[in-house]
Amino acid sequence: MQPTGKMTQPVVKVQNVSIAYETRGGDITAVRDVSFQIHRGETLGLVGESGCGKSTIAYGLVNYLGRNGKITKGDVLFQGQSLVGQSPEDLRKLRGDQIAMVYQDPMTSLNPVLRIGEQMVEVLTVHRGVSEDKARARCIEMLGRVYMPDPAKVLDRFPHQISGGQQQRVVIAMALLNDPALLIMDEPTTALDVTVEAAVLDLVADLRRDFDTAILFISHNMGVIARVSNRVGVMYAGELVELASVREIFARPRHPYTQGLIRCLPNLARNKYNSPLYPIRGRVPSPAHLPPGCVFEPRCDYARDRCRQTRPALERLEGEHFSRCLFSNEIDPAQWQPPPELSLELATPPAEKPDPILKVSGLKTYYPHTDSSALSLIGLGKKEYVKAVDDVSLEAPRGLTLGVVGESGCGKSTLIKTIIGLEDITGGKVEFLGFDVKRTVARRDLDLIRELQMVFQNPDATMNPTYSVGQQIERPLRRFKVVPRDEVRAEVIRLLRAVKLDEHYYDRLPRQLSGGEKQRVGIARAFAGRPDVVLCDEPVSALDVSVQAAVLNLLLEIQREQNTTLIFIAHDLSVVRYFSDYIAVMYLGQVVDHGPAAAIYQPPYHPYTESLLAAVPVPDPTVEQEHIRLEGSVPSPLHPPSGCRFHTRCPRRGMLPDGGKLCEEEAPPWRDAGGGQHIYCHIPVEQLAALEPVIQAAEA
């Protein structure tokens, strides 16, 4: 067993590195003065929001910055040798051999026209000169170590024939084949579902133990970082602002930015009635216009004059805890008070459950699937359907929020697209304001359309790039005749103010806005007609954590003012818990668990909800979380499993006699779990209620 830790020389040592990009307007510094080191067997997590430079550092380490990037200052020492200034040929030998990299999207990391075996074997034959047979054997062994089922068969498949989680395992296996000294992982699980992500993170933890590799793990998700890292570095606007062990960072953050980040994370204990989410005010500075002193100073609640004048150095506070702040020793996060402009009122829960304003009964949305056989070309093939939404019944109580949660492919997006009329209803009923809403939106009454609006997921695509913000908010006002013509402009300004944007945004074009601002405009546009129900399709998924908090607060405020009913879709369980009054959990086109938010997150759980909760990465390294992992992958909605659709992966099948044979044969009944919760499962409620809660705070 090799001595790990500080005894040995660090595998990689980054010293005061600055990286700049050449652009039309001159050189832009993306990373300024970053220093850290990683020892063998240690995982350094680099966390930060978009644009902070964490990926740039990763590419800079292997000097793979693109045509116009360059390391302007500082040095990168890899196993004692400097990487800056080496010839491309020497660097090529290092990459893939001693330094390996795993990227975010496995589908673009693997060559789609080569078989997996060919790609993996190449790593060994090129760098180590191993013969093909020996290389193949080693690949099979490595695939086994990343828990890939049936490794020999996988080698003969193409990347598109295996699932996303399996692709990422292949990429990780390829990275480890040459036993690299340094493994760089750039957001490797961001593109994966929660349950798959949990399995891949388990794998990373195991590998750390088995291979003793130094790992640089980059992510914007604090929960993931908490789970995988030994030490954490927090980056902001190209600088490293705090560096400490993972427990220290979450328990005692010393830099105001880290404190602000942790304050605006929704975790499973918080909800909108007991604690407000305080966002970090202001906006990340553009790299071309950095503040003269401390880079965080314009947004810092503790800023003083000195902060504007001097740029703080990364100072050691105690032990291995570093912070780039002049006043770290004087700041106590426990004493923090929100500044006056951020004072948030907490909502009060309603006394009794209001009547539903929107009712969905037995909704079915099927997409016809064109078989690629010759018969179907002439229309005689078997008619198959992708059962995206299969028999869903929900109610949205007036003025409250219904959250719908599930992984990709569960049908939640299709569900709200059907409700709003962008998709055709194949069966079942949608009742809105007492009307049976059957037709697609193109044929509905304008009054009905006005009362049911939507906020979209992708802030970059939600606004038309050609028209200004003001014009786009005016459109629904004019179309629905909300106010008389001469008052339209005033109303637009009022809406802009309601979403915390000042009136100068009226003439701006979307490309001049940040992601969070675009999403706010999208919200203003959706609420312009004062609708009764707003469907939110993952409105905060594409946003940074601090912006997410601001947008959630905004939605809450508008909801309170206008008594709007919200149907909120997300895949992030903490966000849904924070925001919703009632929650429905969907799996493969069906609702499997629904009820009040508090009840869903406590036993009794539906087994799927339980595994989701066990998989979600919690941004607190001290909590105890049950370790439940799902096998296999989500079945195809073309041929959903018989009986209970979850039976192929259910970890609690064994609780029933005969190993759960009933689950394969019969569809489960709806069981009343008390407190308004209903579970779609064969297992009796008493047995489910006897299970341990999935997430428990650590004993003090």
Partner 1 sequence: MTATALAQRAARRSAWQRVAGGLAILRRSRVAMVGAALVLFWVVVAVFADDCILSPACWTGSPEYTSTPWLAVYPYDQGTGAVLGPPSADHWLGTDRSGRDLWARLAYGARIILTLAPLSVGLAVLVGGVLGLMAGYFGGVLDEVISRILDAVIAFPQIILYLIIIAALGASAANVVLAITVAGAPGIARLVRSLTLDIKTRDYVAAAQTRGESPWYIMLVEILPNASGPIMIDAMLRMGYAVFAIGTLGFLGLGLPPPSPDWGSMVNLGRRFIAAGHPWDALWASMATASLVVGLNLMADGLNEELQRYR
Find the helix or strand (DSSP H, E) in which 73 lies.
strand 69-78
Provide the minimum distance between the beta carbon of 376 and partner 1 in the complex, in angstroms, as a whole number.
17
Find the helix or strand (DSSP H, E) in which 429 lies.
strand 427-432
Q: Which is nearer to partner 1, 113 or 442 (CB)?
A: 442
Provide the minimum distance between the beta carbon of 582 and partner 1 in the complex, in angstroms, as a whole number.
23
Distance CA 635, CA 643 (A): 13
**Beta bridge mates, 432:** 358, 435
Distance CA 624, CA 617 (A): 11
User: Residues 569, 572, 573, 577: is their CA dihedral positive or negative?
Assistant: negative
Q: Which is nearer to partner 1, 27 or 658 (CB)?
A: 27
Per-residue burial over 184-213, b = 16 or more CB atoms within 10 Å of its CB, e = otherwise: bbbbbbebbbbbbbbbbbbbbeebbeebbb
In three-state secondary structure terms, 159 is helix
Q: Is 458 in the site for partner 1 (CB under 8 A)?
A: yes
Distance CA 404, CA 591 (A): 9
Q: Which of 145, 387, 444, 571 binds partner 1 (CB under 8 A)?
A: 444
Q: Is 468 in the site for partner 1 (CB under 8 A)?
A: yes
Q: Which is nearer to partner 1, 77 or 448 (CB)?
A: 448
Q: Are 300 and 256 in contact (CB under 8 A)?
A: yes
Provide the minimum distance between the beta carbon of 290 and partner 1 in the complex, in angstroms, as a whole number.
13
Q: Is 509 in the site for partner 1 (CB under 8 A)?
A: yes
How, if at all, do strands 182-186 and 99-102 pair? parallel
Q: Is 442 in the site for partner 1 (CB under 8 A)?
A: yes
Residue written as token pair 């510094």:
29
**Residues near 674 by beta carbon (within 8 Å), at least 6 away in sequence:** 599, 685
Residue written as token pair 């020492």:
77
Q: Is 341 in the site for partner 1 (CB under 8 A)?
A: no
Residues 410-429 that bind partner 1 (CB under 8 A): 420-422
Q: Which is nearer to partner 1, 445 or 666 (CB)?
A: 445
Provide the minimum distance between the beta carbon of 154 and partner 1 in the complex, in angstroms, as a whole number.
33
Q: Where are the beta strands (DSSP E) in 5-68?
A: 12-23, 26-38, 43-47
Q: Which of 464, 622, 687, 696 binds partner 1 (CB under 8 A)?
A: 464
Distance CA 487, CA 434 (A): 32
Q: Which is nearer to partner 1, 55 or 462 (CB)?
A: 462
Find the helix or strand (DSSP H, E) in which 202 lies.
helix 194-211
Q: Which stretch binds partner 1 (CB under 8 A): 254-262, 307-315, 473-481, 487-495?
A: 473-481
Q: Which stretch binds partner 1 (CB under 8 A): 153-161, 373-381, 499-507, 557-565?
A: 499-507
Q: Are 368 and 385 in contact (CB under 8 A)?
A: yes
Q: Is 661 in the site for partner 1 (CB under 8 A)?
A: no
Tokens for 279? 């966002």
Tokens for 560? 């309170």
Q: Are 207 and 171 in contact (CB under 8 A)?
A: no
Provide the minimum distance between the beta carbon of 583 and partner 1 in the complex, in angstroms, as a whole number.
24
Q: Which is nearer to partner 1, 7 or 442 (CB)?
A: 442
User: Residues 258, 259, 260, 265: is their CA dihedral positive or negative?
Assistant: positive
Q: Is 648 in the site for partner 1 (CB under 8 A)?
A: no
Distance CA 358, CA 352 (A): 17
Q: Mark residues 525-544: x for contact with partner 1 by CB under 8 A, - for none.
A: xx------------------
Q: Which alpha helices (H) appear in 340-467, and where do they start and end?
A: 374-377, 412-420, 446-451
Provide the minimum distance between the beta carbon of 466 and partner 1 in the complex, in angstroms, as a whole number.
4
Provide the minimum distance between the beta carbon of 448 and partner 1 in the complex, in angstroms, as a whole number.
9
Q: Which stretch binds partner 1 (CB under 8 A): 305-313, 334-342, 385-393, 455-463?
A: 455-463
Provide the minimum distance between the beta carbon of 386 and partner 1 in the complex, in angstroms, as a whole number.
18
Q: Is 463 in the site for partner 1 (CB under 8 A)?
A: yes
Q: Which is nearer to partner 1, 412 or 577 (CB)?
A: 412
Q: Which of 304, 316, 479, 560 binds partner 1 (CB under 8 A)?
A: 479
Provide the minimum distance between the beta carbon of 502 and partner 1 in the complex, in angstroms, as a whole number.
8
Q: Mark residues 252-291: x for contact with partner 1 by CB under 8 A, - for none.
A: -------------------------------------x--
Total binding residues toward partner 1, as defined by CB under 8 A: 38
Q: Which is nearer to partner 1, 25 or 657 (CB)?
A: 25
Distance CA 473, CA 508 (A): 12
Q: Is 69 in the site for partner 1 (CB under 8 A)?
A: no
Q: Are 621 and 262 in contact (CB under 8 A)?
A: no
Q: Which stretch binds partner 1 (CB under 8 A): 2-10, 57-65, 367-375, 518-526?
A: 518-526
Q: Are 53 and 69 in contact (CB under 8 A)?
A: no
The secondary structure of 490-537 as a DSSP string is: HHHHHHHHHTT--GGGGG--GGGS-HHHHHHHHHHHHHTT--SEEEEE
Q: Which of 115, 247, 475, 494 binds partner 1 (CB under 8 A)?
A: 475
Q: Which is nearer to partner 1, 97 or 532 (CB)?
A: 532
Q: Is 453 in the site for partner 1 (CB under 8 A)?
A: yes
Q: Which is nearer to partner 1, 208 or 525 (CB)?
A: 525
Q: Which of 466, 485, 657, 698 binds partner 1 (CB under 8 A)?
A: 466
Q: Mark residues 24-53: x for contact with partner 1 by CB under 8 A, - for none.
A: x-----------------------------
Interacting residues with partner 1 (CB under 8 A)? 23-24, 289, 420-422, 441-442, 444, 446, 449, 452-454, 456-458, 461-468, 475-476, 479-480, 502, 504, 507-509, 512, 522, 525-526
